[in-house]
Structure 1
Amino acid sequence: MRLQIAWCMSLLLAAAPVAAKVSAEEAARLGQDLTPIGAQKAGNEDGSIPAWEGGLTTPPPCYQGEGSRYCDPFPEDRPVLTVTAANAEQYRDQLSAGQLAMLQKFDSYKLNVYPTRRTSAFPDFVYEATARNAVNATLEFEGESLKNAILGFPFPIPKSAQEVIWNHKLRYRGVGGARWNNQAAVTPSGAFTLVEITEDVKFPYAARDATPDSIDNIIIYFLQIVRAPPRLAGQITLVHETMDQVREPRRAWQYSPGQRRIRRAPNVAYDNPSTASDGLRTNDQLDAFNGATDRYTWKLIGKKEMFVPFNSYKLHSDAYDYDEVILKGHINQDLSRYERRRVWVVEANLRPRTSHMFKRRVFYVEEDSWGIVLVDLYDNRDQLWRWQEMHTFQAYDKPFVGPPAMETAYDLQSGRYIAYSMNNQAPETIERDFEKSYFDPSNVSKQSFK
């Protein structure tokens, strides 16, 4: 009888909210001293971070419209400082462990820090939904089940680390889109073979008429197809990402042209190697972090000012070939843009009796977009092993932040790295509202022949 009572109590405790909605009084700060999605509206004391004044919602004259390249709205901007190995100690507090390690490892590595442009903006209906979520959304079952949230950011005034991570996972990126995610696994000598990948995505959570019930527990539909090189072409990965991962874990399938059949693929998760990554990126590193959080315990460290990639229009330019962007040791840092920004710092530590190749992860989440921009990754000895960056920008015609110009994952021990989410020499990402049936597993094999 005692065992039965203890078992029932454990279920009740697991089901209890681990993240509570905020009061109406606290939510009223949104749009006042906080931006509509929860960032500090005011600038910092020395003015190096300006006040948020609504973001960038008017395309610059160089933009030619939907489907054309997102051009740089700030072509006259010049760096206000450059961080190198020689002066890195002076800026230690504004750098992640990974950035410091890169500065120490490569004489050619540097961070050009530009004026901070608070370009982030989202549609008014996202702001309205975010305000509703603030007083309704909760997390249950140790943070794996999101309840009573839809369309907007679920936790604009976060009280826990997992709330911050859910904001990243559900940040508004339109109702869906089609993009090229070209990637290169780079050897220590700088050699690489470009892998060309298309990705189609639908965000049911972001539909204007969506309700928590209507999306049927699916927040993201994702279809990835390898197009080149020929030895990899035709490989397909399909994912249906769930909002309540206790009710139903992620659904995933893979199709191999050699086998000519689609199979369920529970390995498309956690630290299993991702498509054509040469072991340099795990499945849960795409989009900086994705998927379940259950293998880690999570701690919210707080907020700080750091030099992070943002407004990366130059890196996104089609004026550069991939061999001008991808160099030995690291990407071309002359094309990267860093800004002083406030970030939430979140630490994840591997739970006892679980497994993952990263024992500890430190995430840096930019406040204006809720996007992860840097990640420090530690091995089982708790030594810094790998490091990630997300180079992103404002899609000023939508408006929302993303897609990224590039993501990178560096292996500090081997000197190898992978650059992905690139489309410099491919068509621009477009917003597209796919039918749900497009992502049905029965249709997947047909896609490999298109």
Structure 2
Amino acid sequence: MHSRITITAALAAALFAGAAGAKVGPDEAAKLGKELTPVGAEKVGNKEGTIPEWTPGKQRGKLKGEYPNNPETDGDKPLYTITKGNIGQYVGKLSEGHKKLLNTYDSYKMNVYPSKRVVAWPDIIYQATAANATTCEMVGTDTPDNCKLGFPFPIPKSGAEPVWNHKLKFRGEAATRYNNQFIVQPNGAYQQTKIIEDVTFGYGSIKKPVPLTTTSGEFLKYLSKTVEPPRMAGTYILVHEKAGTGAAGRAAWLYSPGLKRIRRAPTVCCDNPYEGTDGHQFYDQVDMFNGVLERYNWKLVGKKEVFIPYNSNKIAGNTIKYKDLIRPKHINPELPRYELHRVWVVEATLKEGTSHTFKKRRFYIDEDSWNIALVDDYDNRDQLYQFQEGHVGFAANVMASFTVPEVIYHFTSGRYFITAAFNEDKPYDLTVSFSDDYFSASSVQKMTTK
């Protein structure tokens, strides 16, 4: 039973539609809000009852000072535990990364909880998503056209489209967050980096949405400042994230305290190491995946039932200290909450004539939130090289979803990397607003002289 892959009628149509992304017809779009949720997931649960029907959460809480929480799920107890000893019972519903962790470390396990499908979005996002279904098109892999505010491809037809749903998901107007990162050695020793990030969401702005077309594609602006450790303190990264590639795509700048000036940084891309991570996170692994898709061929494999970290409020909240989270070889297995959910499986295979550390990547994308929850990363020898795990949560205060923390396991070295943790700092501040010139190179240069 656990090895059965469930493929819906909508998915079957997608598989035979070819590689080109395209808008859907009115009849297919009419399924949104009926047999499909307003963002394209299947409303009903599975036949076994192990995945429930969608029961959207209600808005609650303030936009500042709210750690992840849900009284309706946070008191749940595990239904069962997956270990190396019983992996055979569940192998068909596990990612390759989780199989590798279970088979490699006797100390690793997965506590499985009742599945809860509570992710919901503002009504205006539902309305915009319905409009996008019949107007938004995918030009190549990097240019969504005629898309505005909502999820661009609620009924995806090509592999690139679910990834763009992840990249363009609603997250509020703007945010300031702490991002604590940890490089963890096999013996549990770790090095910590603290970053403060400011971001404004152009495409996802309800107040002033920026549409994406073939001629206009800037969908967010991002500025990070490293505050610890001392050797990295004062480093700034500025990004104008755009659809498209080359000169039409991402614009990035880097300020290094050693150089004392801000400069254009085309290396803020792809498999170049993110500043201060000592090579443990590539730029395109931030937020599970970001940046250009152009180096890969993208295939929509199908929809599958998979155990993914979900409703992960405990591991992301302020009751857990970093010392509680970090363990040798892997994070503390008592803290994550795993649930069975339907995911879209997308495979990216490196194009001939291009280069990347990862020859192939397999993405597991949650149907309800469009978050990339897991990624299997393969090297040029077709060996599983890294595994990314994003712990999915629902932010009821802003009616959006997130992955906190995110973990990258490095199988060749036995190290792992944690990012996006804010347990011992303040949670997201979603009340902030920024002027356009705040995210400019000249503004960052002035910040460094204060």
- State the TM-score, normalized to the length of structure 1: 0.92
SS at match of 1:342: strand
**Using the alignment, how far apart are the partners of 2:218 and 2:173 within structure 1?**
13
Alpha carbons of structure 1 residues 81 and 19: separation in structure 2 relative to 1, 3 Å: same
Is 2:122 the partner of 1:130? no
SS at match of 1:362: strand
Is 2:333 the partner of 1:338? no
Alpha carbons of structure 1 residues 257 and 18: separation in structure 2 relative to 1, 3 Å: same
Task: Note the aligned Cα RMSD (angstroms).
Answer: 1.6
State the partner residue of 1:5: none
State the partner residue of 2:297: 297
Is the Cα contact below 8 Å between 1:197 and 1:228 reproduced in 2? yes
**Using the alignment, how far apart are the partners of 2:397 and 2:426 within structure 1?**
17
Is the Cα contact below 8 Å between 2:21 and 2:158 reproduced in 1? yes
Give the deviation of 1:24 after TM superposition.
Answer: 0.7
**Using the alignment, how far apart are the partners of 1:64 and 1:135 within structure 2?**
34
Which moves more between the two structures, 253-262 or 208-217?
208-217
**Using the alignment, how far apart are the partners of 1:310 and 1:107 within structure 2?**
23
Give the deviation of 1:288 after TM superposition.
Answer: 0.5
Match of 2:180 among 176, 179, 182: 182
Is the Cα contact below 8 Å between 1:18 and 1:138 reproduced in 2? no
Alpha carbons of structure 1 residues 238 and 361: separation in structure 2 relative to 1, 3 Å: same
Is the Cα contact below 8 Å between 1:234 and 1:449 reproduced in 2? no
Is the Cα contact below 8 Å between 1:235 and 1:448 reproduced in 2? no
Amino acid at match of 1:426: D
Amino acid at match of 1:224: S
**Using the alignment, how far apart are the partners of 2:187 and 2:448 within structure 1?**
33
Give the deviation of 1:413 after TM superposition.
Answer: 1.5
State the partner residue of 1:24: 26
State the partner residue of 1:277: 277
**Using the alignment, how far apart are the partners of 2:59 and 2:446 within structure 1?**
39
Give the deviation of 1:247 after TM superposition.
Answer: 6.7
Which moves more between the two structures, 209-218 or 108-117?
209-218
Is the Cα contact below 8 Å between 2:63 and 2:429 reproduced in 1? no
Give the deviation of 1:170 after TM superposition.
Answer: 0.5
**Per-residue CA distance 1:235-294 (angstroms, 9 max, x = gap):** 011110112336702100000111110000000000000121121111000111001000
Give the deviation of 1:65 after TM superposition.
Answer: 6.6
Is 2:35 the partner of 1:37? no
State the partner residue of 1:171: 169
State the partner residue of 2:418: 419
Is the Cα contact below 8 Å between 1:225 and 1:448 reproduced in 2? no
How many equivalent pairs are there? 428
Amino acid at match of 1:288: M
**Using the alignment, how far apart are the partners of 1:121 and 1:317 within structure 2?**
20
State the partner residue of 2:93: 94
Match of 1:148 among 138, 146, 149: 146
Superposed, which structure 2 residues align to 1:366-405 within 5 Å?
366-402=366-402, 404-405=403-404
State the partner residue of 2:363: 363
SS at match of 2:211: coil
State the partner residue of 1:312: 312
State the partner residue of 2:6: none
SS at match of 1:126: helix
SS at match of 1:302: strand
**Using the alignment, how far apart are the partners of 2:230 and 2:391 within structure 1?**
29
Alpha carbons of structure 1 residues 231 and 211: separation in structure 2 relative to 1, 3 Å: closer
State the partner residue of 1:204: 202
Is the Cα contact below 8 Å between 1:364 and 1:372 reproduced in 2? yes
SS at match of 1:133: helix
Give the deviation of 1:317 after TM superposition.
Answer: 2.0
Give the deviation of 1:205 after TM superposition.
Answer: 0.3
**Using the alignment, how far apart are the partners of 2:420 and 2:410 within structure 1?**
18
SS at match of 1:85: coil
Amino acid at match of 2:363: F
Is the Cα contact below 8 Å between 2:74 and 2:313 reproduced in 1? no
State the partner residue of 1:258: 258
**Using the alignment, how far apart are the partners of 1:246 and 1:417 within structure 2?**
32
Give the deviation of 1:212 after TM superposition.
Answer: 2.2
Is the Cα contact below 8 Å between 1:72 and 1:314 reproduced in 2? no
Give the deviation of 1:343 after TM superposition.
Answer: 0.2
**Using the alignment, how far apart are the partners of 2:272 and 2:114 within structure 1?**
39
**Per-residue CA distance 1:344-400 (angstroms, 9 max, x = gap):** 000001111100000000000000000100000001000111100001210011111
Amino acid at match of 1:387: F
Alpha carbons of structure 1 residues 446 and 392: separation in structure 2 relative to 1, 3 Å: farther
**Using the alignment, how far apart are the partners of 1:447 and 1:31 within structure 2?**
47
**Using the alignment, how far apart are the partners of 1:239 and 1:58 within structure 2?**
31
**Using the alignment, how far apart are the partners of 1:425 and 1:218 within structure 2?**
33
Amino acid at match of 1:52: W
Alpha carbons of structure 1 residues 67 and 416: separation in structure 2 relative to 1, 3 Å: same
Superposed, which structure 2 residues align to 1:45-124 within 5 Å?
45-53=47-55, 55-59=56-60, 66-73=64-71, 74-124=73-123
**Using the alignment, how far apart are the partners of 1:295 and 1:111 within structure 2?**
34
Match of 1:192 among 187, 190, 193: 190
Alpha carbons of structure 1 residues 90 and 217: separation in structure 2 relative to 1, 3 Å: same
**Using the alignment, how far apart are the partners of 2:281 and 2:94 within structure 1?**
22
